[in-house]
Structure 1
Amino acid sequence: MKGFYISILLFFFISNGLIAQEIDTIPINTKDLQIKLKHSPLPSRMGSLIFTPLTLPPKVVSAKINYWNTKTSIGINLNQAAFSNNWSGGGVNSMAIAGIINYKTEYRKEDFSYAQEVILNYGKVKNRDQLEKKTVDRIYWDHKVAVQLSKNWYLFGSVNFESQFDKGFSYSRPNNGNEVAALLSRFMSPGYLTESFGFEYKPNKFFSTRIGTGTARQTFVLDTAIHNDKNKNFGVPIGSQIRNELAFQVVTNYDKDIFKNINLKMKYMMFVPYDDIGFTNHRLDVALTAKVNRFMNTSITGVGLYDKNTSSQIQGSQTLSLGLVFIFPR
């Protein structure tokens, strides 16, 4: 009987514990109830913060501003053709080689700028049973200083020199005999030195126009023995070696990538002598260059020239080439 009462008591305590656990887990809505949290009765301590200033030594940066922009390109073109003696299609064994160096540098600081351009171009061709002949031959050296007047206008002064490396000949076969060469030109015969000042219009990087209101040009023919009817002594009086002219000059440059890897470069020059406007000279140089890969390109160039001092008709030349080109810096 005593064990029975003990069992009832254990059942009573266990039942109350389960009921209490179920009541404690019932969620209570605390909305609109003001519940205030009491501070923890446990003691808390905060230490004092000590800030120590840190001294950083100044660092001196050694940096220089480079106001120069330089570009050099070197091109080599080689053409060769060979035929066997029994080649039924006909042809002449030939070898042609040409090279060009184009150097540009520009200094620009605030409103002042200086630019220099050098073009050295020379090429020869040799056909079987014929004399060697030049294909291209040019020396061009230009200097220009400018001071900016407004956003697109500059006051400039320039000096440029132009001539050729090698002798130039005309060729003929009198009485269908051997080929004969007659001397037409050579270095400094002719040679041109041009000084100019005026205004330059440059709205962007790829286009510019110089308007030389005050231009002087000296034409040199140092070898007086080359005079003949074909070159008219390049406008220099017979027996003289130099001719001075004052003129109005316009020089327009265009240099832009018109498509991906395709560049169009043009230069137009007009020279109007003040003492004889009828002998106005015009020259147009055009070069279209397509980049094949990093070291190879193909180009077509043309020159149109109208100069009454050398010919009464328009003169022209054209070349098509595929070759190697190296550009520095890359």
Structure 2
Amino acid sequence: MKKITLLLFLLGFVFSVHAQDESLTPADTSYWLKEIGGGLNFNQASFSGNWKGGGVNSVALGIYLQGRANYSKDKWTWDNTMDFIYGVVKNQQEDARKSNDRIFLYSKVGYKINDKWNYFFAVNFLSQFAPGYDFSGPEKVLISKFLNPGFLTTGLGVEYKPNSEFSLRMAPFSPRWTFVTDTELYNVVPTNYGVEIGKKVRQEWLAFSLLADWNKKLAENLSLLVRYQMYANYETLAFNTIDHRLDIGLTAKVTNLINVSLTSLSIYDIDQDEKIQFSQGLALGIAFKRGNFPEKK
């Protein structure tokens, strides 16, 4: 609950800023484009004691905070992104458990070659806020927590960006560090997320990474985001050792503060599991966004 309290505080602070009179905000004449957004999703279901259709009383809460800050001057660019998501669900007669948990930080420096191509160097960090458990047995078992695992990935390469909707980044030099700070976690996670047992960090120096981003406004109040990531270690290169991640998000804006979102996440990483991992979520909640990025047409 401390994680939710922290994120609620952050959202409350940003909401208070958003509620201020925009006339008090001076015009931004710098080379920066900035944006902050977030939201709160709440789902609840309850049934009477004589309900014959089946069902279980439940409460679910989700919260997210996202931000962008991009700089551009002459041929140089510097793009920064943060993405924090946390959610819990509580079913009757069960312990509360996570429904979502993500910490994502991304920073990219670029140098323009021409109208469609750029050189770039990027760094991103990925982990989670809170402990995660396996509930399949009689007792819950800890299988993840902050920096267990955690990933710090860098990339040096070229970016193809033909328009404002699509970008493709290819980095033939992409070192990555995988963190597992709990040296006892391998007792319940035999793969130890690819980190050698007894150590806390795995370093992969020779690797290739690819990131494709498509952010499309389908209609006035409907947008689609598709992001595909691939990571291939040259030293252990084989078809089944290449990591893949696919994020898909569809958001429909009902009013200025209310939206509906459908999200899915697919992961293939042999250091975590031999099969594809998949998650999906549907949420209705309040949302806000403020910044000086131009609206997509």
TM-score, shorter chain, exceeding 0.5: yes
SS at match of 2:140: strand
The alpha-carbon distance between structure 1 residues 127 and 98, as it changes in their structure 2 partners (threshold 3 A), is same
From 88, 91, 96, the counterpart of 1:127: 91
1:196 and 1:214 in contact (8 A); partners too: yes
- Of 257, 260, 265, the residue aligned with 1:295 is 257
The question of whether the paired residues in 1 share the 8 Å contact of 2:127 and 2:150 is answered with yes
Number of paired residues? 263
Q: What is the one-letter code of the residue matched to 1:325?
A: A
| Alpha-carbon contact 1:231-1:310 (below 8 Å) kept | no
Residue 268 of structure 1: aligned partner: 228
Q: Give the C-alpha shift of residue 203 in structure 1.
A: 0.7
> How far off is 1:277 after superposition?
1.3
From 244, 252, 260, the equivalent of 2:212 is: 252
1:227 aligned counterpart, secondary structure: helix
Aligned partners of 1:71 and 1:105 also within 8 Å = yes
Contact 1:231 1:309 in 2 (8 A): no
Question: Which one has a bigger Cα radius of gyration?
Answer: 1
- The residue that corresponds to 1:136 in the other structure is 100
1:66 aligns with 2:8: no
Counterparts of 1:132 and 1:261 in 2: how far apart (Å)?
34
Partner secondary structure for residue 184 of structure 2 = helix
Q: 1:224 aligns to what SS in structure 2? A: coil
Q: Percent identity?
A: 40
Deviation of 1:257 after TM superposition, in Å, equals 0.3
Alignment of 1:214-225 (within 5 A): 214-225=173-184
Distance 2:272 2:289 in 1: 36
Superposed CA deviations along residues 41-83 of structure 1, whole A, max 9, x for unmatched, are xxxxxxxxxxxxxxxxxxxxxx983211011111110001112
1:283 aligned partner, one-letter code? R
1: distance between equivalents of 2:248 and 2:28? 38
8 Å CA contact 2:141, 2:188 repeated in 1: no
The residue aligned with 2:8 is none
Distance 2:175 2:289 in 1: 34
TM-score, normalised on structure 1? 0.77
What is the 5 A alignment of 1:146-295?
A: 146-174=110-138, 180-228=139-187, 230=189, 232-245=191-204, 246-278=206-238, 279-295=241-257
Offset, 1:87: 2.0
CA distance in 1, matches of 2:55, 2:112: 58
Match of 1:91 in 2: 55
More displaced stretch, 237-246 vs 220-229:
220-229
Aligned mates of 1:301, 1:188 — CA distance in 2: 24
* Residues 85-141 of structure 1: per-residue CA shift (max 9 Å, x gap): 222222211100001111011001111000000000000000110011100000000
Q: Give the SS at the match of 2:130.
A: coil
Q: So what's the TM-score if we normalise by structure 2?
A: 0.86
Letter of the 2:271 partner, please give it: N
CA distance in 2, matches of 1:144, 1:231: 34
Instruction: Give 1:177's aligned residue.
Output: none
Letter in 2 for 1:247: A
The 2-side partners of 1:172 and 1:304 are apart by 21
Q: Which runs of 5+ in 1 are unaligned?
A: 1-62, 175-179
Query: Is the Cα–Cα contact under 8 Å of residues 230 and 311 in structure 1 kept in the other structure?
Result: no
Cα distance in 2, alignment partners of residues 101 and 290 from structure 1: 18
Question: How much has 1:260 moved relative to structure 2?
Answer: 2.2
- The one-character-per-residue Cα deviations of 1:233-270 (angstroms, maximum 9, x if unpaired) are 10001111100112100011111201221100011100
| More moved, 229-238 vs 134-143 | 229-238
Whether the 8 Å CA contact 1:231–1:311 is kept in 2: the answer is no
Distance 1:86 1:310 in 2: 43
| Structure with larger RCO (C-alpha < 8 A, sep 6+) | 2
For 1:90 and 1:110, how far apart are their aligned partners in 2?
62
In 2, distance between residues paired with 1:214 and 1:329?
Answer: 34
Q: Is the 8 A contact 2:36 2:68 kept in 1?
A: yes
